[in-house]
Structure 1
Amino acid sequence: MTVKLGPNRYGKAEIRLVRVVRDGPVHHVKDLNVSTSLSGDMEAVHLTGDNAAVLPTDSQKNAVYALAGKHGVGQIEDFALLLARRFVESQPTIHHARVEIDEYAWRRGGPHSFVRDGGEVRTCVVHHDRDGRSSVVSGLKDLVLMNTTGSEFHGFIVDDYTTLQPTTDRVLATAVVAHWRHAGDTPDHGASYERVRECLLEAFAGTHSRSLQQTLYAMGERALTACPEICEIRLAMPNKHHFAVDLSPFGLPNENEVFHAADRPYGLIEGSVLREDAPDAGFAWE
């Protein structure tokens, strides 16, 4: 039997970075979780234990902190590109770098006081290789949304195990995970993020839903229509079930007012929406 080394990469996971900008008495905060992953001429380290081609994961961690100190942290996509290009361009044995960043939001409580925002987390994944090719995928996760009406679900398959009753009025709740691919260079990732986020919110609120799949598509379609800088969006949307509680044992009616919010099991709806002329994704989704 003959075996060989397959695709591989290594890096430093979940580097916690907080960058404070002191603008006189007013401070600004960037709170990030950075993960780096490198690949290249790594056969020797796997096959013989020769570490000559390896940039230690500790060095990758230190680079994150050093570049944050030297260049600051603006938009997370720009910082991720800075890191990825630095790893590839500074080390001949590194051919490809992947940098993933989650950003945690803080609301201002005073000039130098902040309250952690419990809302969604902004994300990005950046790739850069030795041929000079880069890709940027922006996104968000844990965007919790709910419509208390305007949602139906009926006309589905009924088999021997079906107990779910059709409904023309239900609570629709989800926690959106969205990632969108940029068609090319995006001059202002911050403004683009806000536009896409607003499109997702508007489409969720404004769509009379006959299925969560329909709502997912409407959200993706709205983002692509309004944001020419992106060419594809992928969405994962759990159906956070809300079941009307039977209050009849207590002699009480329940006109879709009292619900049990079930955290599991849950339906999970996933899908992508893309332009017909979207360029090849390459390594963007890896």
Structure 2
Amino acid sequence: MAIHLGGNQYGKAEVRLVRVDRGAERHAVTDLNVTTTLAGDLEATHLTGDNSGVLPTDTQKNTVYAFAREGVGEIEAFGLRLARHFVDTTPTITRARVRLEQYRWERLTVDGQPAHHSFARAAGTRTATVAYDGSTAWVVSGVADLTLLNTTGSEFHGFHRDRFTTLPETDDRILATAVSASWRHGGDPADRADAAWAESFRQAHRHLLEAFADTHSLSLQQTLHAMGERVLRHREELVEVRLALPNKHHFLVDLEPFGLDNPGEVFFAADRPYGLIEGTVLRDGAPDPGLAWW
């Protein structure tokens, strides 16, 4: 029976990094969780324990911190710097992927003025995944744990029924979700400036929110498509949007046993089980780099 080594990769998971830029007028905080993943000619370490081609995961961690000393900037650019470094300086490594989560902090104000060094954690986590294979780089930006809610403007009816179906139809419900969205950049990201990455994120984020608010939803699937479509229509640099939308169910509480009515005002917010709606919206003709970047 023939046996061989299949696909493999390794790296350092969840390197926590906080950088404080100490400007004279105000401080700025960059709060990251960074995961590096490397692949290449690594048969020897698996088959014989020869580690001569292995860049230790501890070295990968140290590299993240050392690069941060030079400044982080936008997370997409920081990920590109790291990915290129690992491939270009380690002979056995042919592909690097860097995943970044940025925990966002908003500056506090005192008497209407921005505080010098005080912050509050902002909603939603900014994300980026960068992959580089020695010649081509792919960049995916996104946001996770962005909790949204519409108190009306959502329906769900006309669905298939079988003998196990008990869900009533509704023409007015609360629609709530915790958005995880990722969008892939087209073209060559090599020379994109920090300002371009920042503006792309701000605008994609804005269009996601506006689509959620503007869409009279007949299903969460319809809302998902509307969110992805709006981002692509307004941001030419993006070619694909992937979304995962858990349905955060809100059930109307029956107050009749207490002699009370409930005209859509008192709800029970259930945390599980929940529907999970996932989908991809693509620009026609968008190149597909495969799963190496995802």
TM-score by length of 1: 0.97
Per-residue CA deviations over 1:208-238 (Å, capped at 9, x if unaligned) read 0000000000111100000000000000000
Alpha-carbon distance in 1 for matches of 2:49, 2:38: 17
The offset of 1:116, in angstroms, is: 2.1
Q: Which runs of 5+ in 2 are unaligned?
A: 109-114
The structure 1 residue matched to 2:133, chosen from 129, 151, 158, is 129
Whether the 8 Å CA contact 2:130–2:293 is kept in 1: the answer is no
The offset of 1:93, in angstroms, is: 0.9
AA aligned to 2:229 is: E
Per-residue CA deviations over 1:25-46 (Å, capped at 9, x if unaligned) read 4111100000001011100000
Whether the 8 Å CA contact 2:153–2:173 is kept in 1: the answer is yes
Alpha-carbon distance in 2 for matches of 1:161, 1:103: 43
Match of 1:106 in 2: 105
The offset of 1:285, in angstroms, is: 4.2
Alpha-carbon distance in 2 for matches of 1:136, 1:85: 13
Match of 1:272 in 2: 280
Identity %: 61
Whether the 8 Å CA contact 2:105–2:120 is kept in 1: the answer is yes
Aligned pair count reads 283
The offset of 1:281, in angstroms, is: 2.6
- SS in structure 2 of the partner of residue 224 of structure 1: helix
The structure 1 residue matched to 2:120, chosen from 110, 115, 123, is 115
Alpha-carbon distance in 1 for matches of 2:260, 2:143: 41
Match of 1:43 in 2: 43
Q: Which runs of 5+ in 1 are unaligned?
A: none
Q: Does 1:159 align with 2:162?
A: yes
Match of 2:171 in 1: 168
Deviates more, 1:207-216 or 1:182-191: 182-191
Whether the 8 Å CA contact 1:77–1:126 is kept in 2: the answer is yes
Alpha-carbon distance in 2 for matches of 1:281, 1:194: 25
TM-score by length of 2: 0.94
Whether the 8 Å CA contact 2:147–2:176 is kept in 1: the answer is yes
After superposition, residues 1-286 of structure 1 pair within 5 angstroms as 1-70=1-70, 72-109=71-108, 110-117=115-122, 119-130=123-134, 132-185=135-188, 187=192, 188-286=196-294
Whether the 8 Å CA contact 1:126–1:284 is kept in 2: the answer is no
Per-residue CA deviations over 1:188-208 (Å, capped at 9, x if unaligned) read 111001111111101100000
Alpha-carbon distance in 2 for matches of 1:280, 1:170: 38
AA aligned to 1:149 is: T
Alpha-carbon distance in 1 for matches of 2:215, 2:120: 33
Alpha-carbon distance in 1 for matches of 2:232, 2:279: 14
Whether the 8 Å CA contact 1:127–1:283 is kept in 2: the answer is no
Whether the 8 Å CA contact 2:240–2:286 is kept in 1: the answer is yes
The offset of 1:56, in angstroms, is: 0.3
Alpha-carbon distance in 1 for matches of 2:93, 2:271: 43
Indicate the RMSD between aligned Cα atoms, in angstroms.
Answer: 1.0
Alpha-carbon distance in 1 for matches of 2:226, 2:25: 44
